[in-house]
């Protein structure tokens, strides 16, 4: 089965390509390389033994996207990752986010409709829940007003997919990720943040390796056991595996509804300080950090009710926090070696 992975040279995309190939799928990647490198294709090949087909393409471009689909008539499913994802940047330039994240989705759906491609896995986020009233948060929890244009693009995208699925043959699985971290055990692929990372784990590893001076812990006055905010961190390979199950479920026509939504998390919440402790334990490094003010827009705590994904997909995240932090650290060290050579 040939699967199109948009954003397949990116962080979650590249790990998903490897898992798809492992399960015998043929993969074609499209990516505009705005936040990833062509070299990732070689790294994928080193892991799986197969170089995925690749096309550099901006999915916002209607003509080029149409042309791509005309030339690739044998696609059985699409996993759509390609999107901008920096919260702060989206606040500064909302139009860039709405244009990129929404126009590309509309173009993909139009081509799916025109060419009879039925199966779409969409990369959504737990950000749609805001601060949920009930924890762990289940898929039927209300979607709350988005805190940023980035978050809003995820909410609007979900609605665009729902509306389109109602009146076409298109089926979708929307996966709401909690906090993906870590890297492939080979340390050949991982997260490549451009500039100063916004996310906690790359900031921790970059601080420990000496790229950043100090980590700021955003707030210790939350209503949590140690006062720092709580998230559900999930290993990127566990996350990638769920995508393969989701696309197979659609191809094998095992869906119970035209559009299904699943939470992808471990179900366990960890505080920022617990993440730091885990990192220090597995790396043997002492982390330089200080407590600062809360970061505007952050929620206090969120972690997933994973029962629906566990039962329906037969999928469960396997990796512990320590394993996640160790893989993130090994990746950071590998990157450092690469830059030195």
Task: Write the CB contacts of 331 (distance below 8 Å, at least 6 apart in sequence).
Answer: 182, 183, 184, 187, 190, 191, 205
Catalytically annotated residue among 11, 150, 177, 222: 150
CB of 51 to ligand UD1, least distance (A): 28
Site membership for ligand UD1, residue 182 (CB under 6 A): no
CA–CA gap between residue 306 and residue 315 (Å, rounded): 9
CB of 322 to ligand UD1, least distance (A): 18
CA–CA gap between residue 233 and residue 115 (Å, rounded): 37
CA–CA gap between residue 11 and residue 199 (Å, rounded): 13
> Which position among 203, 279, 329, 331 is part of the footprint of ligand UD1 (CB under 6 A)?
203
Q: Is 177 part of the annotated catalytic residue set?
A: no
Task: Write the CB contacts of 47 (distance below 8 Å, at least 6 apart in sequence).
Answer: 18, 184, 186, 188, 189
Site membership for ligand UD1, residue 240 (CB under 6 A): no
> Which position among 217, 264, 304, 324 is part of the footprint of ligand UD1 (CB under 6 A)?
217
> Which position among 85, 118, 241, 249 is part of the footprint of ligand UD1 (CB under 6 A)?
85
Task: Write the CB contacts of 209 (distance below 8 Å, at least 6 apart in sequence).
Answer: 332, 333, 336
Per rule CB under 6 A, count of chain residues that contact ligand UD1: 20
Q: Give the interface segment with ligand UD1, choosing from 55-63, 196-204, 253-261, 309-317 (CB under 6 A).
A: 196-204
Q: Where are the alpha helices (DSSP H) in the chain?
A: 11-22, 40-48, 62-71, 87-92, 94-98, 104-115, 149-167, 200-209, 236-251, 272-283, 307-313, 321-340
CA–CA gap between residue 331 and residue 341 (Å, rounded): 15
CA 132, 128, 20, 12 dihedral sign is negative
Site membership for ligand UD1, residue 199 (CB under 6 A): yes
Shorter beta-carbon distance to ligand UD1: residue 85 or 241: 85
Shorter beta-carbon distance to ligand UD1: residue 287 or 336: 287
Q: Give the interface segment with ligand UD1, choosing from 70-78, 133-141, 290-298, 316-324 (CB under 6 A).
A: 290-298
CB of 209 to ligand UD1, least distance (A): 15
SS3 104: helix
Binding mask 134-153 for ligand UD1 (x = CB under 6 A): -----------------x--
- List contacts with ligand UD1 (CB under 6 A): 85, 87, 125, 127, 151, 179, 198-200, 203, 215-218, 229, 231, 272, 295, 297-298
Which residues carry out catalysis? 150
């Amino acid at each position: 089965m040939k699967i199109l992975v948009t954003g397949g040279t990116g962080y979650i995309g590249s790990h998903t390509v490897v898992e798809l190939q492992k399960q015998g799928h043929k993969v074609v990647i499209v990516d505009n390389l705005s936040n990833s490198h062509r070299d990732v294709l070689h790294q994928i090949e080193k892991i799986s033994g197969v170089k995925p087909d690749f096309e550099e393409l901006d999915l916002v471009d209607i003509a080029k996207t149409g042309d791509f689909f005309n030339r690739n008539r044998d696609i059985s499913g699409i996993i759509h990752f390609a999107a901008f994802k920096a919260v702060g940047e989206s606040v500064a330039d909302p139009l860039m986010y709405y244009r990129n994240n929404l126009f590309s989705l509309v173009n993909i759906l139009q081509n799916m409709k025109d060419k009879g491609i039925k199966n779409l896995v969409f990369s959504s986020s737990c950000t749609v829940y805001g601060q949920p009233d009930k924890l762990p948060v289940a898929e039927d929890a209300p979607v709350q007003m988005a805190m940023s244009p980035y978050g809003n693009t995820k909410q609007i995208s979900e609605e665009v997919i729902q509306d389109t699925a109602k009146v076409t043959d298109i089926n979708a699985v929307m996966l709401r990720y909690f906090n993906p971290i870590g890297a492939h055990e080979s340390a050949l692929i991982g997260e490549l943040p451009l500039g100063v990372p916004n996310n906690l784990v790359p900031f921790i590893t970059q601080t420990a390796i000496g790229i950043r001076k100090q980590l700021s812990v955003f707030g210790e006055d939350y209503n949590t056991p140690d006062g720092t905010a709580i998230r559900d961190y999930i290993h990127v390979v566990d996350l990638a595996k769920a995508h393969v199950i989701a696309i197979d479920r659609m191809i094998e026509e095992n869906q119970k509804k035209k559009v299904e939504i699943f939470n992808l998390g471990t179900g366990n919440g960890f505080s920022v300080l617990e993440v730091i402790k885990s990192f220090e334990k597995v790396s043997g490094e002492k982390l330089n950090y200080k407590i600062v003010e809360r970061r505007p827009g952050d929620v206090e705590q969120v972690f997933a009710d994973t029962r629906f994904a566990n039962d329906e997909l037969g999928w469960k995240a396997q990796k512990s926090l320590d394993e996640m932090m160790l893989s993130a650290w090994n990746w950071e060290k590998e990157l450092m070696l690469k830059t030195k050579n």
